Amino acid sequence: MNRAVRSFLALASLLAVAATAHAGPAADAVTTRRNEVISKMKEAASKERDQKVAAIMGQMFDFDAMGKASLGKEWAGLSDAQRTEFLGLLKQLVQRSIERNVRATMNYDLQLIGEEGADSGTLVKTKATNKKNGREEPVAIDYLLHEADGGWRVKDVVTEGSSMVGNYKSQFVRIIKKDGFDALTKKMKDKLKKGE
């Protein structure tokens, strides 16, 4: 399975993990938010529906934590205005990816394995299996959550050992170091315009 498919599954499975297992409060939070998003996504497309989905995503993900971690040491050098702009763009990109990808999870069964403590939060472990191709190896997908703002929030998604935030960090920091922060936000805005 190629990297693009694995990345796709990492985002999509957050909203399609099987609700048959009970592992604890972090796993319950993932399942609850997933059910809410799927319910809204089944409604007719409208601006109101999109706003409701975005609100649920805002409760599911800790975009501030993801943004800060994805910029590493570069975060400290940004002004408040730059941080606000960056976090707004990152939030839109992640939300758009999940909304687009959740529609294409029909070929995978997603099973909740359980949850376990981690140094920086709680890992909710899942496994994605191709329904049509039993020979394809299942994909391990872990969600790193922590308690923030009175609930459990996702701050990273790890697919087969590959961290979403880590991947963002390698891309974002490289762009900033080479071309500056404005170049990074321009690339992010271009992706949003193109619907990527």
pLDDT in tens, 118-176: 778 899 988 878 888 878 888 888 889 999 988 999 999 888 888 989 999 999 999 99
Question: Domain range spanning residue 43?
Answer: 3-194
CB count within 10 Å of CB 111 equals 16
Token pair in block for residue 12: 């999509």
CATH number at residue 18: 3.10.450.710
DSSP code for 93: H
Cα separation, 145 vs 45, in Å, equals: 30
Cα separation, 167 vs 184, in Å, equals: 14
Number of domains in the chain: 1
pLDDT in tens, 5-50: 555 555 555 555 544 445 688 988 877 887 788 788 788 888 898 8
Token pair in block for residue 82: 């730059």
Burial of 7 (0-12, 13-18, 19+ CB in 10 A): middle
The pTM of this model reads 0.80
SS (HEC) of 5-41: HHHHHHHHHHCCCCCCCCCCHHHHHHHHHHHHHHHHH
Per-residue CA distances from 26 to 3, 23, 93, 100, 146 (Å): 27, 8, 24, 24, 8
Per-residue CA distances from 144 to 48, 176, 178 (Å): 30, 26, 30
Cα separation, 147 vs 154, in Å, equals: 9
Residue of 170, 167, 147 lying closest to 157 (CA atoms): 167
Evaluate whether 102 touches 38 at the Cβ level (below 8 Å): yes
Burial of 59 (0-12, 13-18, 19+ CB in 10 A): middle
pLDDT of residue 19: 44
pLDDT value at 78 more than 60: yes
Cα separation, 35 vs 47, in Å, equals: 20
